[in-house]
Each structure stands twice: as C-alpha cells, then as structure tokens.
Chains A and B, each alone.
Chain A
Amino acid sequence: MPLTRNSKGVTTVSEILRVSGLTVEFSTEDGTFSAIEDVGFGLEQGKTLAIVGESGSGKSVTSLAIMQLLAENGRITAGEIVLDGENLLDLPPNDIQHRILGQQISMIFQEPMTALNPILTVGDQITEVLLEHQGIAKKAAYERAIEVLREVGIPSPEKRIRQYPHELSGGMRQRVMIAMGLVSEPKVMIADEPTTALDVTIEAQILDLLDRLKREFGTSILFVTHDLNVVADIADDVIVMYAGQIVERGSVLDVFEQPKHPYTQGLLGAMPSLTGVEGDLPTIPGVVPSIANRPSGCRFHNRCPFAHPRCTAEAPAVYRVGGQDVRCHLFDPHRSEESQ
C-alpha cells in the first residue's frame, strides 16, 4: 500500500477534494449529450490520484469541470465539487475566480508550447497570480517567483525569469508551468497530461519533480493521463474512466495487481513489458464509442470479452470488490447463474 509519507503518521488522511455525482452536458447542433456521468472520487491530502482513460473517456472534461473551465457549450448539470469543505458549485463565479482558481487549485496543461503566453516573460506570467489576488509588492512577487523557479529545478532562475517562453526548451516550459501552478501554494494541483508532449527522458524528470513536490509541500495532485506507465510511476490511487463513466477505482497497487473490470484488464494487458512473453501485444478490439453513440446497458459491452445478455440490456451498478469499486455486472453478488 502506498502510504502518505508525511511525518505525522499514515492513519489520519483527510480528503482535500471530493467530487460526487458530477455530470457534464454539452449542447451541440445535434442535441445535448452528457460527456461525463455520475463521476465521483476523493483526493486525499498529499496524495496523487490518477484519472486514466482513452481519448473521449471524459478524463479531461472531469478536470476542466473541476476548474470550471468547460467550453461555452458545456454545463455541469449535477454533482458536487467539495474543496476543503466548500462546495465550489455553490460559490458565485467571482469567488471562484478570485479565491479558488490559481489560489487553492491550479492546473498544468498538456502542451507547454501553447499554454504559455508567447509575448509575456516567464516572470510576468508567474507573478501575475500573486499580484492579481494577494496584493503583494511586485518586487516580493518576483523574489517569490525566482524561489519557485529554483524549486522546480530551473537553473539560473534570475536570468530565466526575464526570458520569453520561446527561449526555453519544452521541458523547461513545463517546469515554468509547474512553477506557475505552485507559486501560490495551492491545496490541489490538477495536471492534465503534463508529460504527453515531452520526450521520455524529460517526462521522467517532470514526474520526479511532481513526486518531490507532493512529498515536500504536501500538494495533492489530480493527474490526468492515458499512460498506465505514468500512473504506476506517480499515483497512489487510480480511477479508470470509460465513455464518460468511472469503471474502476482503487489504489494503484490493487488495481494493477488485480484489475477487476474487463476494460482495466484489457488496458493492462495492452501494456508492453520487458519481462512479458513474446508475441503480439494484445489489444482491445474496437474504439471508444463517441459521445453521441454510446451503447445501451454497459457501455463497454460491445468490446468486452465477458459480455452476456444482461450487459446489453441493463447498465451495471458499482460494486465494492476487495479494495476496488467496479462498475460491472460480473461482480453483482446477486447475479443469477443463467445470465453468466
């Protein structure tokens, strides 16, 4: 079991962020579709929770919904997002913008190339978080920015702070993004595929950095990725999403050791390994259904090797199996023999 590594002990872990029943709808010309449905999870203080899924699974929508940064046609129709005891969905937009975003939750994006403003210096972009909300002097803000840049492993930060994003390498830019997300010491940091655009050596460095920050500052991280290797590397707990729903939830150790949901099993089976048997890498047949064409019953049934008639007809509930929560009929304790 991955335990919290803080000195105070491992038993009293508190949830800093709890999402429950979160549903997001997008209205398009062809109608209204729910991108995610009934998404719920808790992020514990000082831990990393990974959301894994293929494109279209709803993992990015989930993170953007927490930040309330959904596109104009997206709307949260149900659910709660409770940050440190406060339901963000009850707060007026002004409060969210002024007190929450950048202050208590920050976000790092996938493309450090495009996520930084090309015409503002690194220093301007880091300090504006402080200058905007905390009313501290410009000089103090810059000193703090230099400190954070050093913290995220940028050499000679006094020089870098005056540079523009295009003068930095991809890895450096992502470090700048992380510094920007860290500067006001938020309670939660959401990282949306922060290493996908980087090459593997840089990816490893950034993951190490995030892990170190979590341990040193007790920052809780919500890590969105499609890469299971990254999950194994960095996360304490994991949520597997498929077609807008959470299909499995548990600690990384449990889920990787004993994946319960057929989709999770498929994903893990499709992971290349150095010690594994030779031969073709197994894949999951088919593709994630589009938001407009989600199948009835269990959304995974048309790709599932264990599908039975009930799966097409009835949407599965979530069952507690060992340490995990699984959305699959196979784990229904009242399952009748005939339907197997």
Chain B
Amino acid sequence: MTRYVIKRLVQSIPVIFGITVLSFAIMKLAPGDPLANFVNPTISMEDLEASRSALGLNDPWYVQYTRWLSEVVRGNLGYTYAGNHSIRMLIGQRLPNTIILTLSAFILSFAVGVPIGVMGAVRKNTRTDYGLTIFSLVGVSVPSFFFGLLMIYLFSILLGIFPPGGMVNIRARYVGFARIMDIAHHLVLPAIVLSLSNIATVSRFTRSNMVDVLKEDYIRTARAKGLRNKAIVYKHAFRNALIPVITIFGLSIPFLFSGAYITESIFNWPGMGSLGIQAIQDREYGIVMALNLITATLVLMGNLTADILYAVADPRIRH
C-alpha cells in the first residue's frame, strides 16, 4: 500500500507540471496585462514600455514560465504587481477560511446525501422516495446564487437566526471557544448553499447504487439466512453500494472548492474566492498561478484519496 501511494505521488508531479504549463500559457496568450490598471493620461508610452520590460512582461511566455517555476520550486510564490504584497501571505490569510467552508460542505454532502440515498432505495417507489427525488432534482437545478439569496432572505432577514454574511461578528471580538462558535454560526448558511447540489448528486448516486445492490444474489442469500432487514441493508447492501460513491468523494473536492468562489461572494466570506476573482481581473499572474497550483493539487489528492478508499472498501481491489 505504501509503495502504491508513493508511486502515485511521484506520478502526480509531471501531471501538476503539465497543468501549470498549460494554464500559464493560456493566461499569457489572453489579451491584457497587469499594467493596464496603472495607466493614467500623463504616462508616456515609453515609460509604460520600460516598466513592462523591467517586469519581464515582454519576454516570451515560456521564459516567464521558467522564471516563475524556478521560484516556485524554491517555495516562493512571488509578489503582487500592485503593492508588492507577498502572495504566500495573501493566500495564507484566505486559504484556511476557504478550507473551513469547503470541508464543512464536503462533510455535509456525504453526511446528508448518503442517508437520503439509502432511505430512498430502501423505500423505493414510496412517497418518501418521491419526495427525496424531488428534493434532489431541485437541489441540482437551483443555481447557488439564487439559493444563497433565498436562504439569506429566509433565515437572516425574516427569521433572524443566522447572520447574512461574513465569517465573524466584527462588533464583538470573541476569543477561544466563543470565536469558534461565532464562526460556526456564520458558517451554517454558506455551507448549506455550497453543499446543496452536491448533496443532491451524492443522494441520487447512492440511491441508484443501493437499488442495484439490493437486487444482487447475495442479498437474496442474506434473506435466505433469515437476517434482520437492518443487517441486510447495512451490513450486506450498504457497504457494497458505497464503493461507487467513493468516486464522487474524489470528484467533490475540486467541485466544492471551485463552487466556493461563488458562495463566498454571496456571503462575503473572506476566502480565496474574492481574492481569485480580483486577481483574474487585475492580471495578477502570480496569484492566479498559485490558485491553479492549489486546485490542481487538490484534484490529484482527491483522486488519490478515492483510490486508497476503494482499496479499503473493496477487498477485491486490495489484493
């Protein structure tokens, strides 16, 4: 197993390399440059060109890429064109917030989606099942910006249960446990909004797998053994039905991570979303590349985790 994991980790290095090359090239080939923001009527074309040269923006993209790569491998993500801020610090401030949101939504997706799917399969073609099907359909269909606004309207404005945005109460400076509870309170709505469509996907997938598994011969064998229904559903069917769900496990991570961009801007959540969108508009290549790097790593880690979980769940793969 350890050998397998190491092998996969080594294999992911060229993949990440390829992703950075591609995204760098695409970004550089797109029109616009970071200096566009600084142009004012008094600046001369010569000065502008001189700044461009000084920043190395006139070099071919692969030269710029090599320069970027040689810094990144040494752990230096670079500095912003505007303000000369450390990109590592900027991301360091934002990334944990996005991780909190993404992780909560991830846990929620499976903690809610899987039981819903199992319930739908066990009560196949009953009212419960139809109700859950409608819920799932709505869940995948409703766009998150609309659902987010709806939630804010319902739970913040009408009912006043949850704050409409932000991550902490800025008027009360909580510390310690009170701070954790404060963040959790702010987290509820964005986490629900971010996870909704994933809950729907997970529950549909779980349901259909569960329905298939319940038709298997070994379920009939279990019935012939006189096992209780609970033992049949959970011990025999559920574990088998869960194996394909692991695929979604791996896919969910990048899905939620990119979905967080929109959710964060709805709820004013101080995560990577606003940083990323701003960076793209400002042509802050360093930030965009750093975000690409993080996302690519997450995708690969998600896939690797899924593959490891397959082996844990299915003895046929383990051996």
* A binding-site residues for B, Cβ under 8 Å: 67, 69, 96-103, 106-107, 109, 111, 114-120, 128-129, 132-133, 164, 166-167, 177, 180
Contact = CB atoms under 8 A, between A and B. Distances in A.
B222 A69 contact: no
Contacts of A102: 224-227
B315 A128 contact: no
Contact of B224 (A106, A117, A118, A167): A106
Given A111-B217, A118-B240, A167 B228 contact: no
11 contacts: A69-B220, A101-B226, A102-B227, A106-B224, A117-B236, A118-B240, A118-B315, A118-B316, A120-B235, A128-B225, A164-B316
B240 to A, nearest CB: 6
Nearest to B237: A117
A103 B221 CA distance: 13
A222 B294 CA distance: 64
- The prevalent SS among residues of B at the interface is helix
A69 B315 contact: no
Nearest to B227: A132
A119 B314 contact: yes
A101 B223 contact: yes
Contacts of B314: 118-119
Contacts, number: 79
Interface in B284-314: 313-314
Contacts of B240: 117-119
B146 interface: no
A100 B220 contact: no
How big is chain B's contact interface, by range?
20 to 34
B215 to A, nearest CB: 10
A132 B315 CA distance: 24
A103 B226 CA distance: 8
Given A132-B225, A132-B227, A166 B218 contact: no
A107 B224 contact: yes
Contacts of B218: 114-118
Contact of B231 (A101, A119, A128, A164): A128
Contacts of A115: 217-218, 220-221
B261 to A, nearest CB: 38
A97 B236 contact: no
Nearest to A166: B316
A240 B218 CA distance: 28
Contact of A116 (B221, B231, B243): B221
Contact of B222 (A117, A118, A166, A177): A117
B319 interface: yes
Interface in B131-162: none
Contacts of B239: 119
A96 B224 CA distance: 10
Identify the 7 closest CB pairs spanning chains A and B, nearest first: A101-B226, A102-B226, A114-B217, A102-B225, A117-B218, A107-B224, A164-B315
A119 B315 contact: yes
Contacts of B46: none
Contacts of B217: 109, 111, 114-115
Nearest to B217: A114
B47 interface: no
Contacts of B216: 114
A103 B239 CA distance: 25
A98 B229 CA distance: 11
A167 B319 contact: yes
A166 B316 CA distance: 7
A244 B218 CA distance: 26
A186 to B, nearest CB: 10
A98 B221 contact: no
Contacts of A97: 226-228
A132 B236 CA distance: 14
Contacts of A100: 226
A132 B316 contact: no
B226 A98 contact: yes
Contacts of B319: 164, 166-167
A39 B223 CA distance: 24
Contact of B228 (A69, A111, A117, A132): A132
Contacts of B225: 101-102, 106, 128-129, 132, 180
